[in-house]
Amino acid sequence: MAEIVRLDEKLAERHLDDLRELLTDAVEDGAAVTFLAPIPRHQAAAFWRGRIEAIAAGTCVLLAAFDGGKLVGSVQITLDTPPNQRHRADINKLVVLRSARRRGIARALMEAVHREAAVERRTLLTLDTRKDDAAEPLYRSLGYIEIGVIPRYSRNSSGTLDDATFFYKELS
């Protein structure tokens, strides 16, 4: 089973190349994770550098899954919510390497998200995913409640627009 580790800024910096590879692997496969294929190397690296700055600023929790010492997945908790929503957090960019999928790694990352969100005293989690993507049944099985679907929410690498499903979960 993969080991889930919370990366501080030093550890994240050390794994910058692995994180870049992880994001590139997903984007090249057509995943709906912010970027469009082909994602330039410098753009993927710049994204992770921004996340490392956010970890240092205390506004991002970055969890990584390691399998046999190799980084195979990650997910983020975004904590920079407005002052009146400090009990809430967004979950972003749950990604597992194509070569490591369907082995429970995303589920393990999300279970770790729930533990770390509690550590950060966040009791309401929100997230979204492209409608009908593989993450939808995962979120439902973890107790996320569907709020609804926004049509034509984000563009894909083929140039068309995809619907997005929005979810929330309250941690007891």
Ligand X SMILES: CC(C)(COP(=O)(O)OP(=O)(O)OC[C@H]1O[C@@H](n2cnc3c(N)ncnc32)[C@H](O)[C@@H]1OP(=O)(O)O)[C@@H](O)C(=O)NCCC(=O)NCCS
Residues of this chain that interact with ligand X (CB under 6 A) are: 26, 31-33, 94-96, 101-107, 129, 133-135, 137-138, 141
**Measured distance CA(172)–CA(121) in Å, rounded:** 11
Q: How far is the CB of 152 from ligand X (least distance, A)?
A: 17
Q: How far is the CB of 106 from ligand X (least distance, A)?
A: 3
Listing DSSP states for 42-80 in one string gives HHHHHHHHHHHHHHHHTSEEEEEEEETTEEEEEEEEE--
16 with 9: CB under 8 angstroms? no
- Cα angle 100-2-66, degrees, rounded to a multiple of 5: 80
Nearer to ligand X, 58 or 137 (CB): 137
Nearer to ligand X, 8 or 67 (CB): 67
Q: How far is the CB of 109 from ligand X (least distance, A)?
A: 8
Q: How far is the CB of 84 from ligand X (least distance, A)?
A: 26
Nearer to ligand X, 80 or 132 (CB): 132
**Measured distance CA(1)–CA(148) in Å, rounded:** 34
Nearer to ligand X, 55 or 97 (CB): 97
**Measured distance CA(50)–CA(70) in Å, rounded:** 22
